[in-house]
Structure 1
Amino acid sequence: MSYLFGLLFALSSKSAALREFWRIEIIRQPTFSWRRLYTHSRNRRRNFLLWWRLASEMYTRGNKAQRKAAKQINDRIKARFTTDIGLDARIAAGLHIPHHTGVVISDKARIGKNLVIRQNTTIGVVKSMTSEQLITLGDNVDIGANSCIIGAVTIGDNVTLGAMSFVNQDIPANSVFITRKTSQILLKPAE
């Protein structure tokens, strides 16, 4: 039933933004085509974006029944792709997730164009955040694997976060951020 609501929403006048997301992220051509959408959505990475964008737009712009269907679709794609992106997260066009495993993005995220986010990465909240505070990422942000962005932080445009970065502070535009780690080998005492 939720897929029927999704199809009706995709064909409605409310879905102009949805078709533009699909054109940029799935079809990757200058013009939208239902045939190309079907063909390109068979790719696993693009298939996730097809369903998540549909659920997100239905949740934002749809009626009560469509919002309920959007939650059901989102629950199914969470289980299938092991990726949890909140339906209230606002992510501009150009989202790219090379490996879906373990990606979590909070409803409080407001993200610009062309985000690249890799596996086992969290963009999340902390208990001390108020309901008005948001996590803001600019355009062209590239997040390395196993990274964690926590709290009401602002990350500027054109920022690269290295793998295994822990971010709990603002990062200015045009930066590269890494979390320095030290490795140490301890020898066991001889027995």
Structure 2
Amino acid sequence: MFKYIHIIIFLLTHDLTELKKYWEVEFIKKEFKWSRLLNKLCKSDNTYMVWYRLAYFMFRSESNKQKRVAVKINRKLNRRYSIDIPLQAEIGIGFDMWHPIGVVITEKAKIGNRLRIGSNVVIGFKNYDMDGSIKIGDDVTIGANSMIFGQNIKIGNNITIGAMSFINKDIPDNCTVYTEKSNIIKNKAH
């Protein structure tokens, strides 16, 4: 109950222009109206993006109480959806997860607009004792069960990463990248 009071205070005392734009693009998919947001919240099983973006913006507020509530909201989301996306990660507008389960994104991620990812995607940072980040540009699609892992990697704009890919190097703009796979089937001798 206590957290809802701080959510209401946040919604009543802050300029919500940017938050509403994120909700419009990532959840409602139509022009923002409070009635549309509430209607979709009541009908949708997947409300992750609404709550994540609320926590994301609350975490960036000046109030320590609202930051603590944001962390609580995010922890609950992480448990419910088996996701680990810290509020410190910078993720631009248009973030879309096809099946929001098993996604892990490092707090050192700086992600542009319109990131689309499948389930079980990991964007990980190799050594937290070192400075840096993993930078991902605009209009990037990452297929299911893929991993981006390393130190100070830069993924360009307009990139498609195929499912089950492992990325540990920079990728320039306008590329399709995948990890080659081979299926070996051996018959057991009786």
Please tell me the TM-score bracket, short chain as reference.
Answer: over 0.9
Q: 2 CA distance for matches of 1:100 and 1:26?
A: 13
TM-aligned CA deviation for residue 36 of structure 1: 0.7
Unaligned runs of 5+ in 1: none
The question of 1:21 aligning with 2:29 is answered no
Superposed CA RMSD in Å reads: 1.5
Deviates more, 1:176-185 or 1:160-169: 176-185
Number of equivalenced pairs: 187
Pairs within 5 Å for 1:102-141: 102-127=102-127, 130-131=130-131, 133-141=132-140
Q: Displacement of 1:141 after TM fit?
A: 0.4
Q: Match of 2:148, SS?
A: strand
Pairwise CA distance, 1:186: 2.7
Q: Report the Cα offset of residue 129 of structure 1.
A: 6.2
Residue aligning to 2:186: 186
Structure 2 equivalent of residue 4 of structure 1: 5
On the 8 A contact 1:137/1:157 being kept in 2, the answer is yes
| 1:83 equivalenced with 2:83 (yes/no) | yes
TM (normalized to structure 1)?
A: 0.92
Cα displacement (A) at 1:16: 2.6
How far apart, CA to CA, are the structure 2 residues paired with 1:160 and 1:174? 8
Please report the TM-score for the alignment, with normalisation by the length of structure 2: 0.92
Distance 1:172 1:41 in 2: 38
Q: CA distance change for structure 1 residues 148 and 129 in 2, over 3 Å: closer, same or farther? A: farther
Larger mean CA deviation between 152-161 and 11-20 belongs to 11-20
CA-CA distance at 1:19 after TM superposition: 1.6
Taking the aligned partners of 2:165 and 2:18, their CA distance within structure 1 comes to: 33
- Residue type at the aligned position of 1:164: M
Q: Runs of 4+ in structure 1 displaced over 3 angstroms?
A: none
What displacement does 1:14 show? 4.0
Cα distance per residue 1:101-150 (max 9 Å; x no partner): 1011111111111111110110111126623x111111110110000011
AA at the equivalent of 2:185: I
State the identity %.
37
> How has the CA–CA distance of structure 1 residues 123 and 129 changed in structure 2, closer, same or farther, with 3 Å as cutoff?
farther
Q: Which amino acid aligns with 1:4?
A: I
Give CA-to-partner distance per residue, 1:32-54, whole Å, 9 cap, x none: 21111111234233x10000001
SS at match of 1:83: coil
**Structure 2 counterpart of 1:94:** 94
- 1:127 to 1:164, Cα distance in 2 relative to 1, 3 A: same
Contact 1:9 1:62 in 2 (8 A): no
Question: What's 2:45 paired with?
Answer: 44
| Alignment CA distance shift 1:128-1:53 (3 Å) | closer
